[in-house]
Amino acid sequence: MPVSHYLFLLAALPCLPLWAAGQSVHRCESIAGHVTFTTLSCGPGEALSLQQIHPYSPGSTDPATEAMLPEAERWQTFRNTNIRREPTIVGQSQDRCGNLIDARQRRDAILARRIVAGMSQQDVESALGKPDSIKVRNSSTRYTYKAKNGRSAEVVFDEKGCVKAKS
């Protein structure tokens, strides 16, 4: 072929339709109903179906570029709406004091230099500073703070190191 034919083909390459760039992916569905899309093969025990993926072209009215997933069967959507699951809380920290106070209450108490049941020894030291004396008896610890005006404060901790509620 003469060079002019190669140049013509090279110039015409960008004019090819976008559907030429489409590809197939595997849709793998496990027995439990979990769906995974991959270009690799499905795992053992998973149902395989091939899906044609077409790149989106702005302004296109081609129906093949609009629907990327197959229509669901009526029984599949009906069954899925009846499954109720409890929400899973991710990232909630469980402190050793049983989460008696939340982070905002803890922060407000430290800034106001107040002591609230459920605070840890570290929280108390952040609010009031290092104690003047520490007494350990049985499973409880007592921090004593002596104020300049003659008054003193005493904070009692339980065996876990948390401020005890006044009884």
pTM for the model stands at 0.43
Sequence-distant (≥ 6) Cβ neighbours of residue 96 within 8 angstroms: 120, 160, 161, 162
Residue-by-residue DSSP string for 4-71 = HHHHHHHHHGGGS-GGGG-EEEEEEE-TT--EEEESSPPPTT-EEEEEEE----TT---HHHH--SPP
The H or E element containing residue 112 is: none
For each of the chain's 167 residues, which pLDDT tens digit applies? 566 655 655 565 555 554 445 677 888 888 888 888 888 888 888 888 888 776 666 666 655 545 556 666 655 555 555 556 777 767 666 677 877 888 889 899 999 988 998 898 889 999 988 999 999 988 889 999 888 777 788 899 988 888 887 75
